[in-house]
Every structure is written in C-alpha cells, then in structure tokens.
Amino acid sequence: MTATQAYSELVRRSREAALLGSAASLLAWDQETYMPKGGGEHRGEQLALMAGIVHQRRTEPVIGELLAVAEASELVADPESPESANVREWRRSYDRATKLPAKLVEELARTESLAQQAWVEAKPKSDFAAFAPWLEKMIGLKKAQAEAIGYQEHLYDALIDDYEPGAKVSELRPLFVRLRERLAPLVAKIGAASRKPDESMLRRDFPLEAQREFGSKTAAEFGFDFERGRLDVTSHPFCMGVGPGDCRLTTRYDAGYFNDGFFSILHEAGHGMYEQGLEAAHYGTPMGEAVSLGVHETQSRLWENRVGRSAAFWKGRFASAQGAFPSLKGAGRDAFHFAINAVAPTFIRVDADEATYNLHVILRFEIEQDLLTGALPVADVPTAWNAKMEELLGVTPPDDRRGCLQDVHWSAGLFGYFPTYALGNIGAAQLAAAADRDLGGLDATIEKGDFGALREWLRDRVHRHGMRYRPGDLLRRATGSALDPDLLLSQLEAKYGALYGI
C-alpha cells in the first residue's frame, strides 16, 4: 500500500467515525433540550452503545498500521500541511484511545447520561446528597481513565489534555497565581469605590420572546448563520457543532433579568461562529476540528465581553434595545453600560463579571484536583466549596443549588474542562488587542454595527486552521505573543478603573 492510499483510507475511516460521533452529539443535544424526563435511562444506553462503536472504530489495529505508512512518507514532510497535521493528530488520538478499555468508554458514556439526569433533579432541590453517589462513581471512572492514559507529573494532566492538548498543572498554577494576585485587590478596590452602577434597570420586564428576537438578531449580525444553525432553550447554555451546516446554540431566559439570556446568546454565538468557520472540506479530520476548548473559549469571551459589553457596541445598539424592551425607556445609555459591567462577587459562575470570573475557575481547578487525588472526600464537597468561595470571593452560597451543584460539568464527566475558561479569557484579550492593531481600531466598526472585519480576521487567524497548529502556536501566530495574563489584567484594571473611578 502506498502512503497516498494509506492516507486516503485514514481520511475515510476518520470521517466515518466523525459521522457516528455526530449522531451521538445529536442524541446528547436532544437530551439537554427536548427529551422527556422518562427517557433518561434509555438515552444512557443509546449513548453508551454509540460511544463503544466510535471507540472501536477509532482503535482498530489497522489504523496504527496505516499511520505507520503515512508517518514514514513525504506526506508529513511539511509540518504545516493538512496531511501532516492530520497524521500528527490522528496518532495522538489513536495512542490515547487505544489505552482505554472499551468497557470503560461505554461505562463513562452511560454514567454521564444518567448522572446528568440526576444532577438536573438534584440541583433545583439543592440536594447534594442525592447527586453525591453519581459524583463518586464519575470520579472513580475519571481516575481510571487518567491511569489508563498515563501521565508524567499529575493525574489531572491526563484529563486536561482531553480539552487543552499539552496543558499541565505545573504550567497552569503559576498563571492562576498571577490572576489571583491582581484580581483580588482589583475586586476589593471596586467593592470600596463610592461610584456604583444602578443595576435595577437590568431587573425589569424583559419579555421572553423579545429577548429571543433581540439576541438572535444580534447573533446574526455578528455573523452566526441561522441557515446553518439554530437557537433553543436549556438549563445550562452550550453550543454543539453537530456537523457542517448544523450548529446548535442554547440559552436560558429570565423574564425579569436582561443579562442572563442576552449575554449567553452572544457567548454561545462566539462558539458557533468558530464551528461554522471550520472548513467543511476537512470535516471528519483534525483539520476540520477546533484546536482546543481554550481557543474555543477565546471566541466566545471575545464576542461576549470585548464586543457585547463595550461602550462602542451600546452607542450603536442602545436605541434598538429600548425599542425592543419598553422597560428600558428613560434609562441612560452610559448608565446601562455601567450596569451590564457591574462587578460584585456572585455565587454563580455563569453570572460572574469579568473581574471575578477567573476566581470561580480557580476554585474549581483546585477542588477538582483534590477530588481526583482523594484529598477531598465527595461528602465534604459542599463545605470545601463554600470555604473557597469565602476565601476567593468573600461570599458564601446560601444553598448547594447556588454552590457546588450549579455546574453541569461534573455530571458530564468534564474534569479538566474548567481551566480552559481562564485560558480563553487570557487568549481573548490578546486576540482582541491584535485585531484592534491589525484592523486599525475595533471600536469604530463595532459602533457602526460592522462586525464583518473582526469575524473574518478571526476566521483567517483561528477558525480555518483547525488543528494545523497546537493551541499555543496558533495563539502566538495570531497575536505575536505567547499566552500571558498580564494583558487581560491590565485591560480589566483600566476598564474598571474608569467605570468605578478607582
């Protein structure tokens, strides 16, 4: 068999596995949106079967043989070619997947489905005890996964690598220390400031249909293509790329609070535009996949915060908001801008402002490590969570619904996912600064409602490359610098210094 034939066969097999995976993704999306409550156990069996089939397809011994032929050929001579990138990432995926027993993969998928149903029931009741057995089981499975994959430094590294290839605890800790050292004093200064926003204007009557229309219109103007995507309602907003031409956004609404629905839509639209910006011709191969969740998060945070919370955006959009929501008539634009950028420690991560958000991530980063190493027993999670909330944010959740039960991630087995949110915030600041420099200033185009230049800049620098480069290399090529929290911290200090007069 020639190298060209081996590569073509790898592409065929990869696309076939991706199609099966996309069917499982659609089952998972339905579970989070429209599936009746009674379907949970059956859905778990469906997802377990699909996971087992996909795992089997991705770990067949012939794939290793085909990879060996391709790796020894001129196809991989240029490390930046699509062929080289695909072979490199196929090898990485194959080596990881072949270390995992099929029974473990199936049991993880089954438990994820059932645990999420248990979480959905436990959260509104603030009943951590009901969810605890599922968390215990999930931790055991994730530890087994990490041990099977292997690691050099920390068990947690094996799990982070699923979401942010190459990331390690030893590298993340110093980044998070730098964030904590400057964010905590900033939040304290803001808390002591005499100038305060009037957040009451955000807690008025905001009809749900008007929210849907206003948010959808804004997402479309940003560049999310609703001919190739849709928006639905769920309990925990997410974006799911099912495949070319099918990207699903979800959000949640509160008829008495503006921020919840609107900024969730902008956030998920950022993810969605990344999915829609991947080249369809490469579907089913690494070149047609997002490089990492950290990079994915740069897109959502950039559109949500740098664009959606900017003064420039609301200069061009506030009159439209007043037209959509009569309750905003009489409110001042500058006062509204200050309100949507209010800083105050909150119990809920997804409701957190830019200044406190990364402190929520640090809390989860620390607790997850302790759970996986056994330093923190599952039964003690609520107590440990509340203590860290008090330490980092100065607040204590009144119940577990607004504490350790607030996130879907643990029920879905997403240990190692949370650090990517902080990496995304850091990278978003660097990408926005680079785009501002390359495009000659973002604010003027944002105020005019011209979002195309930024969208195409991101498509050219990030989206179209798929997994051609590793996350750090992609960011360095796009911005000219390595991942560094100092720019984000300086931007936050300047922004909130101006708003709060500190």
- HSE, CB side, 13 Å, CA atoms: give it for residue 39: 12
Pairing of strands 246-251, 229-233: parallel
DSSP state of 375: S
- Is residue 431 within 8 Å of 484, Cβ to Cβ? no
Closest-CA residue to 151 (of 137, 141, 166)? 166
Total Cβ atoms within 10 A of residue 403: 20
- Is 88 in contact with 76 (CB distance < 8 Å)? yes
Give the Cα separation of 164 and 254 in Å (integer): 33
DSSP H helices, 60-168, are 61-71, 82-97, 102-125, 128-149, 155-160
**DSSP character at residue 232:** E
Cβ atoms of 165 and 471 within 8 Å: the answer is yes
User: Look-up: residue for tokens 């911290």?
Assistant: 489
User: How far does CA 424 lie from the centroid of its chain?
Assistant: 8
Identify the DSSP state of 257.
Answer: B
> Is 286:86 a contact under the CB 8 Å cutoff?
yes
Rounded CA gap, 322 and 78, in Å?
A: 54
Q: Which of 199, 420, 459, 237 is nearest to 331 (CA)?
A: 199
Residue pair 180/362 in contact (Cβ under 8 Å)? The answer is yes
Any catalytic annotation for residue 268? Answer: yes
Element (H, E) at 246: strand 246-251
For the chain, helix (H) and strand (E) counts, in that order, are 20, 3
| Residue in 268, 297, 304, 368 annotated catalytic | 268
On the CB side of 384, CA atoms within 13 Å amount to 16
Active-site amino acid positions? 268
